[in-house]
Amino acid sequence: MPGIKAIDHLALPVNDIQKAEHFYVDLLGMELEMRRFNPNGKPRQTYVNNGSQIGLFLPGTPAPATTTGAPRLGILYPDRRVLEAVLEQLKQEAILFEGPVGDSCIPGIECAVLLDDPAGNHLDLCVLKETIPDTGISHLILETARPETAREFYLHAISLEEALQREGEICFAFESGQFIVLKSVPQLSQRTRLAGRGVHFALEVTHQSFEETVKLIEQYGGAVEGDPRAADGLRPADEKSTYFSDPDGNPFQMSAFSATRTGSLCDEDRWKRIQENRAQQGRKLARWEIE
Ligand SMILES: [Fe+2]
């Protein structure tokens, strides 16, 4: 029984929050969920939602967009009619895209439109032949410079099923119907190596499998990085989470969520709690949190 259930949410690098909000909300049609600010009022993150939460994280990455087609994120639309309406919006603002195309390394895709967001994140806007309930994310395409090591990692530590292999690509399936594709590259792009502060792909794991999966991640060449949110007093008592990276350094989070998944604190209460917790631990706010 696989412990990892699904891709839950994403945190992407952006370097201009206004441009990113306009792109994801006004053009791609996502809901504006929440804006986060530093204690001095400077913008830090915006969260948008299309059925899954997508965090747009400043300051982004200095790395240019890749030419390998990865990392690439699959954004799910319920049907072609909704996708066509989005394409109309993109055309009105003269934003370039490719497609809709039918061919894809992802099984079950009816069509996909390929484009970049203003920060150079590659996106696939997808319609599936059979849609996946309760998510807005269909897939992730990531780079690997160590395909055999990565294959073992995703099969045995993350417990995914191998769905498809073709020239330089391995596709793994989640039980949710979502996919991760590993694309072999001679060397990792700067974009993969310098993902950007806080950037991650978040997976949901069962409570029963959490500790065992942590051990397997380390055993199969990943690195487990702990949970700064828990240290800051922001994690509910019945929720477990850790950040980790795969053997190529792709940044992930894995969470066994609280039964209630309560809403977030407002910025003021959140910073108060962070500062109280760090004072008890003899720690201060980081430079980038007050600059
Ligand atoms: Fe997260």
- Ligand 1 center to residue 55 CA distance, Å? 8
pLDDT over 70 (residue 133): yes
What is the C-alpha separation between 31 and 182, in angstroms, rounded? 29
CATH for 4-290? Answer: 3.10.180.10
Please state the domain extents for the chain. Answer: 4-290
Residue closest to 273 by CA, chosen among 244, 281, 288: 281
- Ligand 1 center to residue 27 CA distance, Å? 24
Count CB-CB contacts under 10 A for residue 1: 7
pLDDT over 90 (residue 75): yes
Could you read off the pLDDT of 9-61 as tens digits, one per residue?
A: 999 999 999 999 999 999 999 999 999 999 889 999 999 999 999 999 999 99
Instruction: State which H helix or E strand residue 192 sits in.
Output: helix 190-193
Question: Do 75 and 7 contact (CB within 8 A), yes or no?
Answer: no
Query: Picking from 57-71, 130-144, 256-270, which range would have the lowest pLDDT averaged per residue?
Result: 256-270
- Ligand 1 center to residue 257 CA distance, Å? 11
- Ligand 1 center to residue 203 CA distance, Å? 9
User: Rounded to 5 degrees, what are φ and ψ at 115?
Assistant: -160, 170
Could you read off the pLDDT of 176-203 as tens digits, one per residue?
A: 999 999 999 999 999 999 999 999 999 9
DSSP 55-76: EEETT--SSPPPSSS-SEEEEE
- pLDDT at residue 264, rounded to an integer: 76
- Ligand 1 center to residue 93 CA distance, Å? 31
Query: Strand order in 4-13's β-sheet?
Result: 31-37, 43-49, 53-57, 4-13, 200-205, 251-256, 240-245, 223-226
pTM: 0.93
